[in-house]
């Protein structure tokens, strides 16, 4: 009933949107799908400021930051506006598909899927890096795979623009992060040490999970503190794939998931070049019969 | 990787001879061992040799050092106060004087002064930055080589080493002169963390685009090749084959006289009288020199009792350095993996020899490599796990 009222309110407040439907609700957000005459399928997020003032500020800042990133592999933000009444709204491009997490429920990715995933997400991170933005929450829940098999990076909700005031206060005990994907410098919340290499770590862990179906830090851990302890002390096992590029990919993932950030590639661009070199050095037939 | 000659006692004539025989080479001059006039003469002598190059180690590790020859140099500050030195004209004077001296000596790189870090702290890093900045402003007209001098404790601490490498990303020099005190003052290091961190620093500095010279080395630092160090520097006596900061204070000069023979395949050194026993029990040949070694060393293996051969101190030094040069030249391979394999092979061979000769109670005493083997192997494992993938990829660009 409440949603019906909200949809009616949306229809009145956003007359250019049609076929408005509820997609979900999370935290302080209500999320709807709709159709826009110019932008096609879109997502409309309604945020209630009174519920979490800090959360809203963070969300708006994040969107303002990511609005500067106009790249193919990051969901485009159509509009962000000042509140209508008590509500802040954001309209984004909508991808029809599933999250990578949902996709992984049916098993790990094939080599072909894995390489596409790597190519697309590194593209997205490289573009974010050019815009001085660190995503800070790369994980399967924040990657969408659409119906054509393309991958999209979404939810810059805890991202950080490196030249702007941190969204997450340094005084916060641990900062914002997802245990098992965030590198040590992120969950120690050392703001000056968080740069694109934090995203490379999370990407490396996600890649490993996609390749093997195993989350190297979370699987078998009794609690989040054990996950953090593992990230601090353990290394991701060496990747072994049934393809010609196995050793090269294992080297790359090993480098990306180094505990110390100075042991990782210095930039996303370097990692992307490394990944491309692997693809170029291994003609499709030699990487995998399926590619 | 190259072998540089670290100037010390007994190096005056030897460095000239070796650079001439080798068809070139670099000598790191030591103000502690040479007065102003000797510095100039030695530099002139080396520079006029084909391929001869000199560098000057300012040895400003301990500004309150009191070694009589060191503090008599014109560049050495007459007064040093911790608070104001690095923020005022005193630093500028030191740097300017060193520029003049480097010009006069016609050095190939300018090694900058650097304080010995008891621990790597923000204050110490700020001092490093101040020296580098002042040196840039002084326009040395040659590449600047930043001294990184670390106490044993600082080199052992991974978080401090990480802090240093992170800092260096934003304050890069053209090259780095890495000088690390050995733990417990030992000649050969059995501490795997110290060695792993040192290798990590070399690799990190190389990957950041700088050249790296490791100063005050013995043959244990052949492992520097796996991090693609540009050079290791070694010399005659133990106090230039490891870094004892105390040598920059007044103390008795080296007086212990014993002649040691370096067995390159065993990575160990032996007093010649132990070679007599090795011969008697039939294992002498395991300790033989490399092909083409110095005649004085080869003579020990000619069939007679080794101690009847007069292996003099200069012969011993010359043998050590010529052997080490050959080993240095063979240490660097075309790929990272081949370089690691070459070092592993070196260690395996040494271990096999050492096992055999030690069974016969033949020991190199404190120069026996047995206790250092695990440290080298652990350091190799560490760099393989942490830097291996990137070094493998970047090897040919370094």
Q: At A27, which CATH number?
A: 3.30.200.20
Give chain A's count of helices (H) and strands (E): 10, 10
Domain ranges of chain B: 2-248, 260-386
Total structural domains within chain A: 2
Mean of the per-residue pLDDT values for chain B?
94
Per the CB < 8 A criterion, the answer to whether B69 and B31 are in contact is yes
Is A279 domain-assigned?
Answer: yes
- In this structure, what token pair is assigned to residue B295? 């005649």
Instruction: Return the pLDDT at A71.
Output: 59
Which residue, chain included where needed, has tokens 């301990």?
A: B62
For B387, the closest of A193, A261, A263 (CB atoms) is: A263
d(CA B318, CA B297): 9
Q: What are phi and psi of A93, to 5 degrees?
A: -60, 145
Residues of B with Cβ-Cβ distance to A258 under 8 angstroms:
386
Q: B390 vs A235: CB contact, 8 Å cut-off? A: no
The answer on A53 and A21 residing in a single domain is yes
The answer on A273 and A224 residing in a single domain is yes
The range of the structural domain enclosing residue A113 comes to 97-287
Distance in Å, alpha carbon of A245 to nearest chain B alpha carbon: 14
Confidence band of A249 (pLDDT split at 50, 70, 90): very high
Select, from the ranges A78-92, A134-148, A170-184, the one with the highest average predicted confidence (pLDDT): A134-148
* Least confidently predicted of A158-167, A192-201, B65-74, B222-231: A158-167
**pLDDT mean over A47-60:** 61
Confidence band of A49 (pLDDT split at 50, 70, 90): low
Per the CB < 8 A criterion, the answer to whether B18 and B25 are in contact is yes
Distance in Å, alpha carbon of A119 to nearest chain B alpha carbon: 19
CB hemisphere CA count around B359 (13 angstroms): 8
Instruction: Return the pLDDT at A285.
Output: 52
Confidence band of A72 (pLDDT split at 50, 70, 90): low
The answer on A68 and A156 residing in a single domain is no
Q: B393 vs A274: CB contact, 8 Å cut-off? A: yes
The answer on A140 and A83 residing in a single domain is no
A28-44 confidence digits (pLDDT tens): 678 889 998 988 888 88
Q: Report helix, strand or coil for A157.
A: coil
Instruction: Return the pLDDT at A55.
Output: 61
Q: B389 vs A193: CB contact, 8 Å cut-off? A: no
Q: Does residue A117 carry a pLDDT above 80?
A: yes
Q: What's A116's domain CATH number?
A: 1.10.510.10
**pLDDT mean over A1-16:** 80
Q: A251 vs B204: CB contact, 8 Å cut-off? A: no
Instruction: Return the pLDDT at A128.
Output: 87
Is A4 domain-assigned?
Answer: no
Bridge partner list, A74: A153
Examine the fold and report which residue of A36, A65, A93 is the final residue of a domain before the chain moves on. Answer: A93
The answer on A162 and A45 residing in a single domain is no
Distance in Å, alpha carbon of B385 to nearest chain A alpha carbon: 8
What percentage of chain A exceeds 70 in pLDDT? 72
Instruction: Return the pLDDT at B66.
Output: 83
Per the CB < 8 A criterion, the answer to whether B288 and B279 are in contact is no
* Least confidently predicted of A52-56, A244-248, B86-90, B164-168: A52-56
Instruction: Return the pLDDT at B52.
Output: 98
Q: Does residue B333 carry a pLDDT above 90?
A: yes
Residues of A with Cβ-Cβ distance to B168 under 8 angstroms:
none
Is A137 assigned a catalytic role?
A: yes
Examine the fold and report which residue of A93, A108, A133 is the final residue of a domain before the chain moves on. Answer: A93
Residue in B closest to A255 by C-alpha: B389
d(CA B361, CA B281): 10
The answer on A142 and A84 residing in a single domain is no
Other beta carbons within 10 Å of B69: 15
Residues of B with CB under 8 A from a CB of A: 162, 165-166, 169, 204, 385-390, 392-393
B277-318 confidence digits (pLDDT tens): 999 999 999 999 999 898 999 999 999 999 999 899 999 999
Per the CB < 8 A criterion, the answer to whether A144 and A123 are in contact is no
pTM: 0.89
- In this structure, what token pair is assigned to residue B368? 């026996």
Is A72 domain-assigned?
Answer: yes
Q: Which of B337, B385, B387, B390 to mutate to test the interface with A (most CBs of A within 10 A)?
A: B390
Residues of B with Cβ-Cβ distance to A261 under 8 angstroms:
166
**pLDDT mean over A191-216:** 93
**pLDDT mean over B110-124:** 96
d(CA A229, CA A221): 10
B218-245 confidence digits (pLDDT tens): 999 999 999 999 999 999 988 899 988 7
d(CA A112, CA A289): 9
Instruction: Return the pLDDT at A58.
Output: 63
**pLDDT mean over B104-133:** 96
Q: What are phi and psi of A47, to 5 degrees?
A: -120, 130
- Widest Cα–Cα separation across chain A: 59
Confidence band of A168 (pLDDT split at 50, 70, 90): very low
Q: Which of A185, A262, A270, A272 to mutate to test the interface with B (most CBs of B within 10 A)?
A: A262
d(CA A113, CA A196): 24
Residues of A with Cβ-Cβ distance to B389 under 8 angstroms:
251-252, 254-255
- In this structure, what token pair is assigned to residue A39? 């932008």
- ipTM strictly over 0.85? yes
What percentage of chain B exceeds 70 in pLDDT? 97
The answer on A65 and A101 residing in a single domain is no
Instruction: Return the pLDDT at A171.
Output: 40
Distance in Å, alpha carbon of A282 to nearest chain B alpha carbon: 15
Confidence band of B145 (pLDDT split at 50, 70, 90): very high
The answer on A201 and A266 residing in a single domain is yes
Q: Are strands A87-93 and A40-47 parallel, antiparallel or unpaired?
A: antiparallel
Is A18 domain-assigned?
Answer: yes
Instruction: List Cα–Cα distances, A50 to A5, A86, A155, A158, A168, in angstroms.
Output: 19, 8, 21, 19, 19
B201-218 confidence digits (pLDDT tens): 999 999 999 999 999 999
* C-alpha distance across the termini of chain A, in Å: 49
Examine the fold and report which residue of A93, A128, A153 is the final residue of a domain before the chain moves on. Answer: A93
Residues of B with Cβ-Cβ distance to A266 under 8 angstroms:
169
Bridge partner list, A46: A30, A89
d(CA B222, CA B7): 19
Q: Report helix, strand or coil for A42.
A: strand
The answer on A209 and A194 residing in a single domain is yes
Q: Does residue A79 carry a pLDDT above 60?
A: no
Which residue, chain included where needed, has tokens 């890093």?
A: B125
- In this structure, what token pair is assigned to residue A128? 């974010």
Which of 3.40.50.720, 3.40.50.2300, 3.40.47.10, 3.20.20.60 is the CATH number of B2-248? 3.20.20.60
Is A236 domain-assigned?
Answer: yes
Instruction: Return the pLDDT at B378.
Output: 98
The answer on A264 and A127 residing in a single domain is yes
Instruction: Return the pLDDT at A289.
Output: 38
């Amino acid at each position: 009933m409440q949603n019906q009222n909200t949809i009616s309110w949306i229809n009145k407040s956003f007359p250019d949107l049609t076929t408005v439907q509820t997609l979900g609700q999370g935290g302080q957000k209500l999320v709807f799908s709709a159709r826009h005459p110019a932008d096609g399928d879109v997502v409309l997020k309604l945020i209630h400021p009174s519920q979490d003032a800090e959360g809203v500020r963070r969300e708006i800042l994040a969107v303002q930051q990511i609005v500067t990133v106009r790249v193919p592999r990051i969901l485009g933000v159509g509009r962000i506006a000042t509140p209508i009444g008590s509500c802040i709204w954001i309209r984004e491009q909508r991808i029809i598909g599933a999250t990578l997490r949902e996709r992984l429920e049916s098993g790990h990715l094939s080599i072909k899927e894995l390489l596409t995933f790597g190519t697309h997400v590194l593209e997205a991170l490289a573009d974010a890096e050019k815009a001085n933005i660190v995503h800070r929450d790369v994980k399967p829940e924040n990657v969408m795979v659409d119906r054509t098999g393309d991958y999209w990076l979404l939810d810059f909700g805890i991202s950080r623009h490196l030249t702007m005031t941190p969204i997450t206060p340094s005084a916060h005990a641990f900062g914002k992060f997802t245990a098992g994907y965030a590198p040590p410098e992120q969950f120690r919340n050392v703001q000056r040490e968080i740069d694109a290499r934090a995203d490379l770590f999370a990407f490396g862990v996600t890649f490993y999970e996609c390749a093997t179906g195993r989350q190297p830090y979370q699987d078998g851990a009794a609690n989040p503190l054990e996950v953090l302890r593992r990230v601090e002390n353990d290394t991701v096992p060496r990747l072994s794939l049934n393809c010609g590029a196995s050793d090269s990919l294992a080297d790359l993932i090993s480098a990306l998931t180094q505990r110390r950030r100075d042991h990782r590639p210095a930039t996303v661009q370097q990692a992307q070049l490394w990944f491309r070199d692997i693809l170029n050095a291994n003609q499709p037939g030699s990487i995998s019969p399926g590619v | 990787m190259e072998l540089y000659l670290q100037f010390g006692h007994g190096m005056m004539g030897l460095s000239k001879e070796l650079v001439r025989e080798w068809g070139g080479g670099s000598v790191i001059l030591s103000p502690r061992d040479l007065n102003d006039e000797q510095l100039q003469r030695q530099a002139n002598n080396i520079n006029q040799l084909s391929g001869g190059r000199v560098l000057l180690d300012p040895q400003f590790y301990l500004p309150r050092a009191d070694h009589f020859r060191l503090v008599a140099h014109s560049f050495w500050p007459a007064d040093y106060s911790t608070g104001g030195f690095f923020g005022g004209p005193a630093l500028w004077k030191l740097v300017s004087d060193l520029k003049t001296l480097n010009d006069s000596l016609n050095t190939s790189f300018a090694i900058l002064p650097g304080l010995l870090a008891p621990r790597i702290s923000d204050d110490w890093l700020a001092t490093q930055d101040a020296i580098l900045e002042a040196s840039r402003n002084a326009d040395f007209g040659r590449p600047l080589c930043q001294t990184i001098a670390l106490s044993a404790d600082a080199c052992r601490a991974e978080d401090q080493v990480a802090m240093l490498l992170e800092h260096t990303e934003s304050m890069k020099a053209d090259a780095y002169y890495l000088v690390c005190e050995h733990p417990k003052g030992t000649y050969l290091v059995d501490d795997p963390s110290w060695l792993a961190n040192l290798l990590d620093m070399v690799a990190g500095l190389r990957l950041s685009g700088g050249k790296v010279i490791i100063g005050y080395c013995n043959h244990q630092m052949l492992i520097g090749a796996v991090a693609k160090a540009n050079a290791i520097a070694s010399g005659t006596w133990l106090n230039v084959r490891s870094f004892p900061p105390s040598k920059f204070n007044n103390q008795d000069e080296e007086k212990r006289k014993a002649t040691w023979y370096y067995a390159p395949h065993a990575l160990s050194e032996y007093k010649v009288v132990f070679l007599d026993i090795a011969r008697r029990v039939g294992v002498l040949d395991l300790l033989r020199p490399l092909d083409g070694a110095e005649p004085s060393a080869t003579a020990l293996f000619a069939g007679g009792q080794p101690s009847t051969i007069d292996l003099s101190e200069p012969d011993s030094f010359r043998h050590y350095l010529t052997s080490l040069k050959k080993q240095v030249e063979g240490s660097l391979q075309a790929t990272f993996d081949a370089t690691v394999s070459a070092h592993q092979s070196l260690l395996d061979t040494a271990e096999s020899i050492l096992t055999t000769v030690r069974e016969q109670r033949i020991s190199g005493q404190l120069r026996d490599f047995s206790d250092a083997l695990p440290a080298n192997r652990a350091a190799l494992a560490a760099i393989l796990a942490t830097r291996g993938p990137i070094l493998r990829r970047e090897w040919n660009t370094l």
